[in-house]
Structure 1
Amino acid sequence: MSRPDTALAEALAAGTPIPRDAEGPVFAEPWQAQAFALVVALQNRGVFSADEWAQALGAEIREALANGGCRDGSDYYERWCEALEQLLIEKGLASQTSVDARAAAWERAAEATPHGKPILLENDPLR
């Protein structure tokens, strides 16, 4: 019996360069695991179906590749996050304005955070 996250990864990976090993998906950074877990949790709660997710992720990967994205899969989780943002916008759960505002807040927080310290939205000087 395969682990649930492995089965999900196999279903989502159909034809995509998902970073993985024999046990399932692998993550180079903690945020990648968090993004993966967020999608799994939202899908498990019925926010979107596996089909909707596969369509969104596939579209994002195709668009990125058409625009010079990494063919080796090294930007896979960036595509994952972009697909999630677009799906949430399409479902009316977020707006492009709110997504852009949150991204800008994280960028300001990152710039204001001393090296080696965790980046927190509370560090955004405009907050």
Structure 2
Amino acid sequence: MTDIDPQAASDAARAVPGVPCDAEGPTFREPWEAQAFAMALALHARGVFTWPEWAATLGAEIKRAQASGDPDTGETYYRHWLAALERLVEEKGIASAAQRTRYYDAWDHAADRTAHGQPIELKPEDFT
């Protein structure tokens, strides 16, 4: 799983309402959730966005999903987290929607050729 700085995770959990937590800090049901959380921590640490900016973007993504019928049971929280991450990455000019789609497609191709249980590795041919 992803190594997450406990102090940074604690700071994020205090700054961003709704982060699923237990007594030890943020909790994750799937490895990708921890990875998305860690990506947001890393971008925040690099000054890409503030926690209030993040919270506003995340809130907007949650409201958009609710308006589209998301039952808001908590199970989709990190899907909204990922959508907010993608939105800010695009808005801040870190990567475009086309670049994100290119990597998504490459990742999908790499996953198709990778045996179950093995790490997925991107190769140059995944981008063609």
Same fold by TM-score greater than 0.5? yes
RMSD over equivalenced CA pairs, Å: 2.0
Equivalence for 2:12: 8
Structure 1 residue runs without a partner (length 5+): none
Query: Which consecutive segments of 4 or more residues in structure 1 shift more than 4 A?
Result: 123-127
- Structure 2 letter corresponding to 1:7: D
The 8 Å contact of residues 20 and 28 in structure 2, kept in 1 or not, is answered as yes
1:84-123 equivalences in 2 (<5 Å): 84-122=85-123
Change (3 A) 1:98 1:123: closer
Change (3 A) 1:107 1:70: farther
Q: For 1:120, what is the secondary structure of its paired residue?
A: coil
Q: What is the TM-score of this pair, normalised by structure 1?
A: 0.84
Change (3 A) 1:126 1:102: closer
Structure 2 residue runs without a partner (length 5+): 1-5
Equivalence for 1:28: 29
Q: What is the TM-score of this pair, normalised by structure 2?
A: 0.83
Q: Aligned pair count?
A: 123
**How far 1:119 sits from its partner (Å)?**
1.7
**How far 1:28 sits from its partner (Å)?**
1.5
Structure-2 separation of matches of 1:103 and 1:64: 21
The 8 Å contact of residues 105 and 127 in structure 2, kept in 1 or not, is answered as no
